[in-house]
Amino acid sequence: MKTTIFVFMKESRYNKINIKDKIFKNKKILIIILVLIISISIDQIIKAIVVNNLYKSSTDIFEGVLSLTYIENTGGAFGIGSNSIIMFIIVNIIVIAITARFLLLKKEHINNHILISLALILSGGIGNLIDRIFRGHVIDYIDFNALIKYPVFNFADICVVVGCAIIIISIICSTRTKSKD
């Protein structure tokens, strides 16, 4: 059964509009919105848990390999440019705006793998931007020490890295497919 509404138009008559068609007309927009909502929500929920339970402390998950360590990162990736919060907010907003604009304008011309990867990159940027604006720093907490001492990172960073990895893999696969043709 279709859900419909009636809209009053200038010609003083009612036009029937199918709500489902309007909402689901563009599945690519829904994919973007779902990836953004889910990824940003996970990121912010984990950060709230970390702030409430690990504030300025650390706990081992797998001793010597993986720890949860509360870090306030005032810089960019790997703590580069510490105490440049305004610059990072501005750069973050510009990158988010460019990525969002590209997604909205080109969504019909890119495949779902690239669409999801760009949405992941966008959600990671938004997750860390939320921290920068409301906390004055980014909350990092994943401390991976398996083979080397790696900088502490968070779920938003994982979204950005996974999004970039998907793009790279998609480019490599499409290049191989085209070269075989």
Q: Which residues pair with 138 in a beta bridge?
A: 73
Q: Which residues pair with 18 in a beta bridge?
A: 4
Helices (H), the chain: 19-24, 27-54, 85-106, 112-135, 155-180
Selecting among 43, 131, 143, 157, the annotated active-site residue is: 157
Greatest alpha-carbon pair distance for the chain in Å reads 73
Q: How far apart are CA 35 and CA 160, in angstroms?
A: 12
Instruction: Answer yes or no: 140 catalytic.
Output: yes
Alpha carbon 58 to chain centroid, angstroms:
26
**6: phi then psi, degrees, rounded to nearest 5:** -115, 135
Q: How far apart are CA 80 and CA 118, in angstroms?
A: 23
Instruction: Answer yes or no: 181 catalytic.
Output: no
Selecting among 131, 140, 143, 181, the annotated active-site residue is: 140
* Residue 71 neighbours by CB distance under 10 Å: 20
Q: Which residues are catalytic?
A: 140, 157
